Amino acid sequence: MSNPKLTDFKVLVFDVYGTLADWETGIFNALEPLLSRYPASRWSRSEALTAFEAVEKDIQAADPNLLYSDVLAKAHAALEARLDALYGKNTDTTPIDAVWATQSTSTDIDDAHAAFGNSIKDWPIFADSSQALHDLSKHYKLVVLSNVDRASFAHTHAKLSTGDPSALASPLYSPAGTQYWFPNQISGSNSPFSLILTAQDVHSYKPALPGFLTALEVIQKDLLDGADVKQNVLWVAQSLFHDIEPAHRLGLQSTWIIRKGAEMGAVAGNKKYTWTFNTLGEMAEAVAKSAEA
């Protein structure tokens, strides 16, 4: 497709965490209890996120079938081991730290890992995401392909669908059964998405290509009536590493949502995207103008 327009496409495929949801804030907030037990580390937000990203990539590559909540729990355990190896057992004598140091059990530690694994329900969405998605759904069918499990994404799905930052999973925004998730088929749902695919569904974590190929197969069959995916699908993401680069390898057009200040997913390299916007709201405005032209 030479000189394409934004409105030439029929389907938008979204990355979620980093693009629609502010996972960096969510992750760092959820890591703070761990970091506070190792004050000598003095890890900045950037350092903590960089350490998390490296551990997460290794875990996902080693076991593509692991639920993302368990990936997070394992990452938390690995970061704790790293902090302990670098800075030793915490020796701070403040009351809270003293209680942890003297009374914590293996169950307490396991609970801390599990709590981090279940923290997605508290990760915020970007302020522009919900409205922009609903605006874009007037022009395209919207699809999710996300490195997450179904139960965890149900919380984010509720937030994105309703625009309520405190929303949590409910039957309206949770998958029905074990088949592919078509949220528009649930009566009463205000979801902007036509199809949701998680790592749990595709048995693969991005940037590995199997998930992309599964997504394109389902999109072609169920959303495009067999039409060419390369002509009709536009990938939309913040992460160059997880989404833009592999989409380019598959011959797909893409839009990079910069989300200024983002630490994770931004890798140096040649330009592999067709459009770029600072926010999803900016993209929605551009699409509306293009549709009116």
- How many Å apart are CA 227 and CA 225, to the nearest integer? 6
93, amino acid identity: T
C-beta separation of 163 from 192 below 8 A: no
Known catalytic residue: 128?
no
Q: Tell me which of 15, 135, 201, 243 is the catalytic residue.
A: 15
**DSSP per position, the chain:** --S--GGG-SEEEE--BTTTB-HHHHHHHHHHHHHHT-GGG---HHHHHHHHHHHHHHHHHH-TTS-HHHHHHHHHHHHHHHHHHHH-S----SHHHHHHHHH--HHHHHHHHHHHHTGGGGPPBPTTHHHHHHHHTTTSEEEEEESS-HHHHHHHHHHHHH--TT----GGGS--SSS-B-GGGSTT----EEEEEEHHHHT--TTSHHHHHHHHHHHHHHTSTT--HHHHEEEEES-IIIIIHHHHHTT-EEEEE--TT--SS----S---SEEESSHHHHHHHHHHHHH-
Q: Order of strands across the sheet with 275-277?
A: 193-198, 141-146, 11-14, 233-237, 253-257, 275-277
Residue numbers annotated as active site: 15
